[in-house]
Amino acid sequence: MTEKIEDYRAEYVIDACQYANWNRTIFEQMREGGVTCVNATIAYWENTRETLTRIAEWRRLFAANADLIMPVKTFTDIRRAKKDGRTGITLALQHCLPIEEEIDMVEIMHDLGVRFMQLSYNNQSTLATGWLESEDPGITRFGREVIREMNRLGVVIDMSHSAERSTLDAIEISERPIAITHANPISWCDTQRNKSDTVLKSLAESSGMLGFSFYPNHLRDGSDTTLEEFCDMVARTVELIGTEHIGIGSDLVQGQPYWVIDWMRSGKWTKQTLNGLKWPVPTTWFKDNSNFPGIAGGLLAKGFAKEEVEQIMGGNWLRFIETAFRPA
């Protein structure tokens, strides 16, 4: 790969995970980068009532920035956003706490626009086990019921922050393909937050989707990881599971104050704080949404065909969403 990489603007750019202090500047960067759709995290440790406030905040953002963004609840909405030159926004829960322990809340969240939900976030939940736990008993009884309800409604099961057995259980139990929206192969970057070859193969065999993460903690050399190294990892993953089951899940964090990272890690479940913890420095090749053409250019420089780059940058997520968002 040469040092100077030419940008390439893919027809569809879909990012399966971002969490930002949302504002018009970020939405303008999305337009600059040709971003078709972003899956926006709205909750980590929020309960039902607090999540309603997050949804209300997004409704204000949609109203104030209607020339740049629009809500996405269906596959057709993504097509409409593309036609209008706007960025579609899907809403995602990175934890199951917003439904508390009430199965009916899954449908309520769906009705309000939520289309992705993780079954656990780092810790043990009422549904599944997070990756930081020392023991992983797998999907719980309640978890099986929630999976069934998510399948019925067309809410995508996301296992990005879940442990291995729970993830494999979810793939097996779900009657519809699941997603790991933001992670990388553990064989490339040895953190348990990434995913084993066993999980990735099972995901692909069940027609699921993996979103590659740009978050430095998930990259082999952290913030110093080069675009060439990242594209090498993508190529190796293609050798393992093929081109059809991979996409982008950048895990981009923008404009968040330092206290938010403590909230994400500590939530409400501990009195211990992570004072002094700071956001990792972003890589030189991905700082905001305007940088997506550079990613696509890097994949082309690596040797991927344009058709494959189109798939990875957004085509595969588009195909997945076309069926995933439909009620059963």
Domain residue spans of the chain: 14-324
162 contacts 170 by C-beta, under 8 angstroms: yes
Question: 156-182: per-residue pLDDT in tens?
Answer: 999 999 999 999 999 999 999 999 999
Q: Is it the case that residue 259 has pLDDT exceeding 90?
A: no
Mean pLDDT calculated for residue range 91-108:
98
**Averaged pLDDT for residues 128-147:** 97
pLDDT tens column, 217-257: 999 999 999 999 999 999 999 999 999 999 999 999 999 98
What sign has the CA pseudo-torsion 132, 134, 135, 141? negative
Q: State the pTM of this model.
A: 0.97
DSSP state of 44: S
Of 167, 81, 169, 56, give the one whose Cα is nearest residue 120: 167
CATH number among 3.30.420.130, 3.40.50.300, 3.20.20.140, 1.20.1260.10, domain 14-324: 3.20.20.140
pLDDT tens-place string over residues 264-281: 888 888 988 766 778 999
